[in-house]
Amino acid sequence: MRRQFCLSLAVAVMLAAPATDISAAAPATEAPKTPAVRPDAIPDREETLSILRRSASAEVARLKGIEDGAAPRRFGVSTNWISATFFVGAMKLTQTTDAPDVLDYGLSTARRFNYGHQGDGAPVHLINADDQAIGDLYQAIYLHTGSPGTLLPLKQRLDYTLPYLTLSPQPKKLVWWWCDSLFMAPPVLARMSAITGDPKYIQAMDVQWWRTYERLYDTEQHLYARDERFIERRSPNGKKIFWARGEGWVLAGLARVLEVMPEDFPTRPRYIALYREMAARIASLQQADGLWRSSLLDPDAFPEPETSGTAFYTYALAFGINHGILERDKYLPHVLKGWAGLNQYVLPSGILGQVQSAGDQPVPTRRETTALYASGGFLLAGLEVANLGRPVSALPIKLPEPAQLQYHASDMRPTVIPANATPEQLKELARREAEREAVKLLAFDPMVDDPAYISPVAAKR
């Protein structure tokens, strides 16, 4: 009876979820791949990167297949939080190892959506953290290309949001009212300050972060309620409900914020203390197989492993080791067990399975269920695991300077002349190329013709 109730509740939650789950990529009859990843030894770096390239490429191939009409489009890519989380991991992968198919797909996706965002024109949507998570992709592309146009829509959206994050007196309702939001928007805001040199983004982030903390953080359990509905709610076994992926969103969000937070930021010690406190609690709840269960304090309610939360925990704990925030001897066994456990649920396709579908609370999981956000978490975890054999590196991580912008004054594509072109075609192609060059000759170009040119994005760099 308890399980029937939970299943019915899970169905209701998924039907009401604001985003579409992109799961069920692999048939249920497939057996899991069993990679040679040991829970008692640091994996070989190149082998780990190979696992990650395979996983990311498999997701890209799957998404391209959907775009070619091979599967329902609702399982495809968009600018929502589901896709955004995949790109967080995917773009970090392309900065670490050669993955041209993954990089090209990130670039083409951003162009396809014109560097835009989920959500219509209603103000409540314009400030939605879930819809700002895709900003991480646009920030990565800006650093890769140096093109300010890739970042301007994000800057506009964040600039609109800032006053609402810092309203005084504090309103009764939170902007970031659910714990997942702490992965979605804060790292984008912190990174925007690092990119532009303007502290207003991280300062506003800081105000709303601690407002959310005051309302949702359980100081006895050292865990976050998913939202205020869950503060008093209990599981069928009478336990407090702390959702595995929800805590994963927070702990991974902390790591991503600390990655770029200035060393002298006034409240940085509070973030470090919170990170360590949560890390200790999460580590204590790991199960014998190296994974965590969907309901952290009531693992018997949903005894199946849950990999999306596990991926974020593995990432965040390994991040702490690699940057000297967490004690290596204490946390390394948890990371190695988590990484080995995750690899037991990588499907033959290379994509991580046993993922909880999109929702807001613990539910059962199935081996064949996949999701882009879990793949993104898996990539983040693996990238940190790949660095476990390297020396500790200090925080913050210095972002690369934006690439030297390569562009033509015209947005017309360069003319390509076919080998078998007819005289008429050659004449038209020559005319087209002359038109393209005329733009370069005649158009005012701020970067060339304005002696006082300042980038509209990185004015203070």
* 347-402 confidence digits (pLDDT tens): 999 999 999 999 899 999 999 999 999 999 999 999 999 999 999 999 999 999 99
Mean pLDDT, the chain, integer: 90
pLDDT at 118: 87
Residue 141 confidence (pLDDT) above 50: yes
User: 66: pLDDT confidence band, cut at 50, 70 and 90?
Assistant: confident
Q: Is the residue at 447 inside a domain?
A: no
pLDDT, one tens digit per residue, over 318-346 is 999 999 999 999 999 999 999 999 999 99
Domain count, the chain: 1
For residue 220, the one-letter residue type is E
| Alpha-carbon gap, residue 84 to 128, rounded angstroms | 14
pLDDT at 50: 96
The DSSP bridge partners found for residue 293 are 305
- Per DSSP, the three-state class of 234 is strand
Q: Is the residue at 353 inside a domain?
A: yes
- Domain containing 60 — which CATH number? 1.50.10.10
pLDDT at 35: 53
Residue 29 confidence (pLDDT) above 80: no
| Alpha-carbon gap, residue 448 to 454, rounded angstroms | 11
Q: Is the residue at 328 inside a domain?
A: yes
Structural domain boundaries, residue 353: 2-385
> How far apart, in Å, do the first and last CA atoms of the chain sit?
61
Residue 267 confidence (pLDDT) above 60: yes
More confident residue, 458 or 6: 458
pLDDT average, residue stretch 116-144: 94
User: 121: pLDDT confidence band, cut at 50, 70 and 90?
Assistant: confident
Q: Is the residue at 358 inside a domain?
A: yes
Residue 22 confidence (pLDDT) above 90: no
User: 38: pLDDT confidence band, cut at 50, 70 and 90?
Assistant: confident
Residue 20 confidence (pLDDT) above 50: no
pLDDT average, residue stretch 264-270: 98
For residue 196, the one-letter residue type is T
Let me know: does 21 contact 371? Beta carbons within 8 Å.
yes
User: 3: pLDDT confidence band, cut at 50, 70 and 90?
Assistant: very low
Distances (CA, A) of 141 to 58, 108, 135, 437: 21, 10, 10, 27
pLDDT, one tens digit per residue, over 276-292 is 999 999 999 999 999 99
Q: Is the residue at 411 inside a domain?
A: no
Q: Is the residue at 443 inside a domain?
A: no
pLDDT average, residue stretch 11-20: 36
Residue 23 confidence (pLDDT) above 90: no
Catalytic residue list contains 180: yes
pLDDT at 12: 38
User: 78: pLDDT confidence band, cut at 50, 70 and 90?
Assistant: very high
The DSSP bridge partners found for residue 346 are 352
| Alpha-carbon gap, residue 81 to 78, rounded angstroms | 9
pLDDT at 15: 33
Residue 19 confidence (pLDDT) above 70: no
pLDDT, one tens digit per residue, over 424-443 is 999 999 999 999 999 999 99
| Catalytic residue, candidates 21, 130, 180, 198 | 180
pLDDT at 36: 73
pLDDT at 458: 66
Let me know: does 222 contact 273? Beta carbons within 8 Å.
no
pLDDT, one tens digit per residue, over 87-99 is 999 999 999 999 9
pLDDT, one tens digit per residue, over 185-241 is 999 999 999 999 999 999 999 999 999 999 999 999 999 999 999 999 999 889 999
Q: Is the residue at 197 inside a domain?
A: yes
Q: Is the residue at 227 inside a domain?
A: yes
Backbone angles phi, psi at 180, to 5 degrees: -55, -30
